[in-house]
Amino acid sequence: MGLLMTVNMQTKNAIIIGSGVAGLATAIRMAVQGFDVRVFEKNSNPGGKLSAFLNKGYHFDQGPSLFTQPQNLEELFELAGEPIDKYFNYEQVDIACKYFYENGKIVNAFTKAEKFDKELQDRLHESPGNLSAYLKESNRAYENIGLVFVDHSLHKRNTWMHKRIFRAMANVRYSYLFSSLNNHNRRKFTSPEAIQLFNRFATYNGSNPYKAPGMLNLIPHLEHNQGTFYPQGGMISITNALYRLAIVKGVKFYFDSAVHAIIHHSGQVKGVVVNSENIYAGIVVSNVDVYFTYKELLRNNYEAKRLLRQERSSSAVIFYWGIKNSFPDLHLHNIFFSKNYQREFDGIFNKKSISTDPTVYINITSKMENKLAPPGKENWFVMVNAPANNRQDWQQVRQNLRNSIISKLNRMLDTDLEQVIETEDISDPALIEEQTSSYMGSLYGTSSNSKLAAFFRHANFTGNIKGLFFCGGSVHPGGGIPLCLKSAKIVSELILQYK
């Protein structure tokens, strides 16, 4: 039957649909567990959203740009019995992000709490210790509550019977569930700039800080207590390392091979259909958007529609600019805030539009490695939060947004940006949806704009079809590289328990 030979269905045969970060990590874990693992990917390369491209000597990472919790990768390589430094190297950065405000204030968010606290005192007149107290609380929230949610399935009874649940419940505060992140931050800081800075962390899972619960205060712990890091070679080096490790562990990859259906019978998964061929396996793991999985691969319109009751996360419009100049005042991660943050999020989630004064994020990996751009030049990844794809006229949105961004940066950097843009590529929610099968182009599946959002995320398994599992950003525990890697661990543990 050619390259995609039909194999006898055995529990030790496993199929992964999609080779995003979670799919790669799941494949590695299952190979270590003794499975014969096949990965089917519709694109011609691995990585999903975490991919890259070159344009006239400029290297651009296409997707996630922030690297935290390297211990998730280290654990994976240790499990596989391979030295991580043979595949992947990274370094800690001293400034997590550089923040620019329309009123002229600039804040360096140092990764050392003492320096960051002093910076907020000097630049924003925050009281001494405000930042340190906030990060200590963030640490407690993550260690005592967050780890229960990100390390375990919320849909298994034994999770709720463990003593860790009682410890987590004892640490839950009223403001974590019944107050927005914005209101929580207003009680912790006095300056509007500091409040806006920490409101931003709601965007790390595509949410609105004026609606998302105060529980999201645990996110800064990852960046400022555990550290912010840079992977040598750019973010694509994470994909490359995982792919190489998977190959070493015997995982077989089939690119340009879209899965068209998941085969199941009498409540049991049987395999997948690829290029009109039935490929059989006792375990199937979907690393594509869970809505797409139900709608297109399972032909289950009822379950797909049920998933749509949950609000979609935000998406993004991204400009990849080759800049034929250098900007010494910029760092690896940079944020240029809007004047009216609340209006910006109201536009994204309620009006399904982008503000004329957007917050602009710029990632410049050539600040860390000169080789990622031509000499004396910089590779700018310029991103603005956007609503999910709802048939907006994205061509017009992109043009208007480009003008707004350039006008804003010209003013705040005192430059003429149009004159130094040498190359340009653009992505938007419609293109993200098309390229990654992420429904409506949502970067994180569903938003966290309600106090129970974490509980409403789809489980990593389904009770209706035995042997079918889910990983990646659209299911528990959520989107972003750390959570995708954790979803792979949860799935592999569920499969070990599967009979």
For residue range 457-498, list pLDDT tens digits in order.
899 999 999 999 999 999 999 999 999 999 999 999 999 988
Residue 335 pLDDT greater than 90, yes or no = yes
pLDDT in tens, 11-67: 599 999 999 999 999 999 999 999 999 999 999 999 999 999 999 999 999 999 999
Output the pLDDT for position 8: 40
**For the chain, counts of helices (H) and of strands (E):** 19, 19
Query: Whole-number mean pLDDT of the chain?
Result: 92
Q: Please answer whether residues 214 and 181 qualify as being in contact, where contact means their C-beta atoms are separated by less than 8 angstroms.
A: yes
Sign for the CA dihedral angle at 446, 450, 456, 460 comes to positive
Q: Is residue 95 classed as helix, strand or coil in its secondary structure?
A: strand
What type of residue is 244? Answer: R
Cβ proximity of 184 and 175 under 8 Å: yes
DSSP-based three-state secondary structure for 251: coil
* Minimum mean pLDDT range among 190-194, 298-302, 450-454, 481-485: 450-454
Ordered DSSP codes for 281-331 = -SEEEE-S-HHHIIIIIS--HHHHHHHTTSPBPPEEEEEEEEESS--TT--
pLDDT band at 155 (very low <50, low <70, confident <90, very high): low
The 3-state secondary structure of 148-185 reads HHHHCCCCCHHHHHCHHHHHHHHHCCHHHHHCEHHHHH
Asked whether the predicted pLDDT for residue 394 surpasses 90, the reply is yes
Q: Measured between alpha carbons, how far is 92 from 211 in angstroms, rounded to an integer? A: 32
Q: Is the pLDDT of residue 178 over 80?
A: no
Ordered DSSP codes for 367-395: GT-GGGSSTT-EEEEEEEEEPPPSS--HH
Q: What is the dihedral of CA 26, 27, 29, 31, to 10 degrees?
A: 160
Place of tokens 């994976």: 76
The model's confidence at residue 9, banded by pLDDT at 50, 70 and 90, is very low
Q: Is the pLDDT of residue 1 over 80?
A: no
Q: In the prediction, which pLDDT does 3 show?
A: 40
- Mean pLDDT, residues 401-425 taken together: 98
Whether 257 contacts 41, CB under 8 Å:
yes
Residue 222 — very low, low, confident or very high, per pLDDT cuts 50/70/90? Answer: very high
The model's pLDDT over 260-307, given as tens digits with 9 standing for 90+, comes to: 999 999 999 999 999 999 999 999 999 999 999 999 999 999 999 888
Question: How many degrees, rounded to 5, is the angle at CA 66 between CA 419 and CA 231?
Answer: 95
- Tell me how far apart the alpha carbons of residues 33 and 427 are, in angstroms, rounded to a whole number: 38
Length of the chain: 499
Q: What is the SS3 assignment for 278?
A: strand
Q: Is 354 helix (H, G, I), strand (E, B) or coil?
A: coil
The pLDDT assigned to 2 comes to 39
Among residues 472, 469, 486, 470, the alpha carbon closest in space to that of 443 is found at 472
pLDDT at 6: 40
Which phi-psi region, left, alpha or beta, contains residue 267 (left: φ > 0; alpha: ψ -120 to 50)?
left
> Is the separation of the CB atoms in 347 and 354 below 8 Å?
yes
What is the β-pairing status of strands 283-286 and 468-470? parallel
Dist CA 118 CA 427 (whole Å): 38
Q: How far is Cα 348 from Cα 207, in angstroms, rounded to an integer?
A: 10
Is the predicted pLDDT of residue 398 greater than 80, yes or no? yes
- Of 81-90, 155-164, 449-458, the least confident: 155-164
3-state helix, strand, coil in the chain (%, to 5): 45, 20, 35
Supply the pLDDT for residue 449. 82
Distance CA 431, CA 426 (A): 9
The structural domains of the chain, ordered by start, are 13-50+235-310+457-497 (3.50.50.60)
